[in-house]
Amino acid sequence: MAVLVFILTFFFMEGVAWFTHKYVMHGLLWNLHEDHHTHTNPGFFERNDAFFLIFAVPGILCTVLGSSLGFPALFAIGLGITAYGFCYFLVHDVFIHQRFKWLRKTDNVYFRAIRRAHKKHHKHLSKEDGECFGMLLVPYKYLKAEIEASRK
Ligand SMILES: [Zn+2]
Ligand SMILES: [Zn+2]
């Protein structure tokens, strides 16, 4: 049961990430997300990193409350949120943007497609007219492009 809740939460978070990116980060809180597109902030950190803290809060709250109050389902939700955030960090910040040089090259068409789609997102420097706001759920056309490229 808890495992199922964990998995569902993980996939649900992809939807939350997509929605937040499209309507909040490219909306009301664009001033925090802008420097991730324009790279105007010198140094390692971006204002956009504030979203790490914002997204960490519900995960921490659910795990702490779930374990201290004895609600395994709530604990599983918290773990799902946190696990998604960690994967997002690994894929987006480490693999795609190379903020840590842990993993540069891959032949895996899925990860290459994710990177191709997110680079497409970064082609747009403004708040409006964006595309590819999701992360782990990649549009099929990018997957197809990578599969075709791998056959050459
Ligand atoms: Zn964006
Ligand atoms: Zn990015």
Give pLDDT tens digits for 28-70: 999 999 999 999 888 999 999 999 999 999 999 999 999 999 9
3-class state of residue 112 by DSSP: helix
Q: Give the per-residue pLDDT at 100.
A: 93
Distance (angstroms) between ligand 1 centre and the Cα of 9 equals 23
Q: What number of CA atoms fall less than 13 Å from residue 39's CA on the CB side?
A: 5
Largest CA distance in the chain: 56
CA dist 2 to 53, 61, 64, 85, 144, Å?
25, 17, 15, 19, 35
Q: Give the per-residue pLDDT at 105.
A: 87
User: Residue 103: pLDDT above 90?
Assistant: no
Q: Give the per-residue pLDDT at 118.
A: 97
Question: pTM for this one?
Answer: 0.93
Q: Give the per-residue pLDDT at 104.
A: 81
Distance (angstroms) between ligand 1 centre and the Cα of 111 equals 19
Distance (angstroms) between ligand 2 centre and the Cα of 118 equals 6
Distance (angstroms) between ligand 1 centre and the Cα of 7 equals 26
